[in-house]
Structure 1
Amino acid sequence: MAPIRLGIIGLSSRGWAASSLVPPLLHPTLSDKYIITALCTTSQESAKAASEKYSEQFGHTVTPYFLPDGKDQIANDPNVDMVVVSVRMPTHFEAIVPAIEAGKDIFVEWTPGNGFAETLKIAELIKKKGVRCLVGGQANQSASVKKVKGLLEAGKIGRVLSTSIIFSAGGSEGYFWGPFVSASLSYGAEITNGATPLSIAVGHLLVAVTDILGDLREVTGAGSINYPTAILVDAEGKPTGGTLHNPPHDQVAISGILSGKPYAEGAFINIHCRAGLRSKDKGRTLFRWVIDGEDGTIELVHREQDGVLGCFISMTEKTVLLNGDEVLVEETELDKLGNTAKAWDEFSKGEQGKYTTIDDAMRIHRVLDATLTSIKKGRKVYLI
């Protein structure tokens, strides 16, 4: 089968797409399944530099496009089968729509749209055009998540009674959600931009939660803002003299009841997401997920070597414990390439692939939207 030809919006010589999305595609496991044929950046200069870099790496010409017309040009490029959107979240919608209208398959980083309503519009357009969409929420590809799911399905702890998760949304050293915010990441500190600890960090987590334990049928949310004013810093963390206001909740909690998995039907769930903490502080709990059953307990915990981004379950593997004893998590060669590589591999399988879809994103956005409603109105919200 011919490789899928990718046009990547947001691929420059540096950045997230360059460091996370592209490297797995050069590995022999995936190099015959995907090729990059075009890219789009913000300027002609950066597009030219990126084109030269990736043309050399992939051994063929990668066509450069740049804004303001680049997203439309890449969507209509006959040598592009799938458009990859890896830009700041507030601009996802305007980058996605031309590609879908052109009948191209889509990859879009989590979260697809700015909130439930915008994600719904994207989902409706995808269904209308009959294209496929790979959403960049890769937690369900994790070997440790799959191990836990296997233990539950095998009845190792019996019927699930409850599950509790406490984790940090990155760390204050990441300069994303306060108290210190990098100027280049300041969009995440504005609640209207939809790149909040709830939408990003909890959204990624829910990809794994719903895969293992089922959906939430009701939610009660709570949130607080410990840092109403964020201090702008430069790339080295030094204050620039600027500040930001109207921040998102930096402490968010969700409680609810699970439904959809026979071994966890009616189980209670509690999630506490914390931003603004220094990840390197001694004794800090960066990630701990406990699943209590009638016959035992399963835990997923963060390891020191996972680093700050290891708090995100979509980024690195976790240690799995069964009744206090570590469980071996077998890793294949593909597992060693990371969750992004496994998502690319699953999408390449066509309809048989198992990956996060736009429908999955819609289910999770309903929970996030219900949580915000609960926080604002101070009441429980029923989903089914």
Structure 2
Amino acid sequence: MIRVGIVGAGGWAGESHLPALAGLDGFEVTAVATTKQASADRAAAAHGVPLAFADAGALAAHPDVDLVVVSVKTPGHARVIRAALAAGKHVLSEWPLGVDAAEAEELARAAAEAGVVHAVNLQGHHSPDARYVADLVAGGAIGRLESAVLVAAGDPLGGPRIAPELAWSTDPAAGTSLLTIMAGHFLATLDRMAGRLVEVSARLPRPYDRVEVTGTGRTVPNGVPAQVLLHGLLENGATASVAVHGGSGSPDGFLVKLVGSEGALTATPTRPGRYLHWTDWDIRVDGERVAVPEDYRTAPFDPAAGPVANVAAVYQEIARAIAEGRRPHPDFHAAAAHHRVLAAIERAARSGVAEKVR
């Protein structure tokens, strides 16, 4: 039994991590932590968790916790991760791993030195649909891959308005933006299907110097992009074209098109308002729909459950890695490499020329 302590037990963790763990064998949530004892007590009571803390370090140090889950705002990731590593605990961090590539590299080195299992929640890597598409491409279903196209909605980030609970994200130093969160997850999922980006040209338009905080009548300074536009080269020689557009409402879907020497594969959402890494897909090869085999769906959740199914698959990978004494995928090193992709996009947007991914 893997005993789990969740730091940041409200919001996203309540929508994904806690229900995912509740539906999996081999895990027990033994502790939660928030910034205040009263809210931690409420979260623990709501989910039947025995331990509640107002301090992440105390949670990480408790002997009844084996795995620390970091589900706080991005600027707080490093502090909680370091506390978990100092306590010798396995750790799962939400994406982004850090506020920038340098912090991510530092955390990856620290995790390696600690000798624990470390993972990042880029759940698109474990999407059954993404895994199946990757196998179709690798198996030659469309011949040699020549180009990959991704168009996706990044709402609620990037628009002229921002929800009050996200107003802090308009500061680039917070590490949470249309580029890092939405494009970060989408590009990681594309990587799983089509291969790694090794060179990029990019634009990061920022048409709004200030954005409206919805329902408050006030505005806040804005330093983050409203769109992510890039062209690039994949490690296998194929080209990639990506457009992630921001907005203020619910996402209106996505389109993936992989073109090969012998055909084309497309993927679109089966239901509106879902992100690429959250839901099941309508997959077609040369216009003919193909179904994902059931043995790809290892998590005990219906795809209609939204992000819970793919988050559960991340936990299944962590359990296998602990049992087998190996690194899970994606781990902190993979996360740091993905941060380097985003850093190359930012450099390319500033320079106006193609940049290598370092």
- TM-score for both structures, normalised by structure 2: 0.92
Match of 1:93 among 78, 95, 98: 78
Alignment deviations for residues 120-175 of structure 1 (CA, whole Å, 9 cap, x no partner): 111011011111112111101111112211211221110111111111102xxx4x
Aligned residue-pair number:
347
Partner-residue secondary structure (3-state), 1:155: coil
Partner-residue secondary structure (3-state), 2:247: coil
Which aligned runs of 4 or more in structure 1 are off by greater than 6 angstroms? Answer: none
Match of 1:194 among 175, 184, 195: 175
Q: Is the Cα contact below 8 Å between 1:168 and 1:277 reproduced in 2?
A: no
Match of 1:65 among 53, 69, 73: 53
Match of 2:279 among 316, 324, 340: 316
- TM-score for both structures, normalised by structure 1: 0.86
1:242 maps onto 2:218 in alignment: yes
Match of 1:167 among 143, 152, 161: 152
Q: Separation in 1 of the partners of 2:38 and 2:12? A: 19
Q: Separation in 2 of the partners of 1:329 and 1:266? A: 27
Q: Which residue of 2 aligns with 1:207?
A: 188
1:267 maps onto 2:238 in alignment: yes
Q: Is the Cα contact below 8 Å between 1:346 and 1:353 reproduced in 2?
A: no
Partner-residue secondary structure (3-state), 1:224: coil
1:113 to partner: Cα distance: 0.4
1:359 to partner: Cα distance: 1.5
* Farther off after superposition, 120-129 or 43-52: 43-52
Q: Which residue of 1 aligns with 2:111?
A: 126
Match of 2:141 among 147, 151, 156: 156
Change (3 A) 1:301 1:377: same
Match of 1:135 among 116, 120, 125: 120
Q: Which residue of 1 aligns with 2:306?
A: none
Q: Is the Cα contact below 8 Å between 2:347 and 2:355 reproduced in 1?
A: yes
1:79 maps onto 2:64 in alignment: yes
Q: Is the Cα contact below 8 Å between 2:124 and 2:185 reproduced in 1?
A: yes
1:89 to partner: Cα distance: 1.3
Partner-residue secondary structure (3-state), 2:204: strand
Alignment deviations for residues 42-92 of structure 1 (CA, whole Å, 9 cap, x no partner): 21211122222233xxxxx621111xxx11111211111111111111211
Which residue identity lines up with residue 194 of structure 1 in the other structure? G
1:17 maps onto 2:13 in alignment: yes
Q: Separation in 1 of the partners of 2:159 and 2:14? A: 26
Partner-residue secondary structure (3-state), 2:84: helix
Partner-residue secondary structure (3-state), 2:243: strand
Q: Separation in 2 of the partners of 1:125 and 1:333? A: 31
Which residue identity lines up with residue 222 of structure 2 in the other structure? N
Q: Which residue of 2 aligns with 1:262?
A: none
Q: Which residue of 2 aligns with 1:229?
A: 210
Q: Separation in 1 of the partners of 2:300 and 2:76? A: 31
Q: Which residue of 1 aligns with 2:28?
A: 35
Q: Between the two proteins, what is the percent identity of the paired residues?
A: 29
1:335 to partner: Cα distance: 5.8
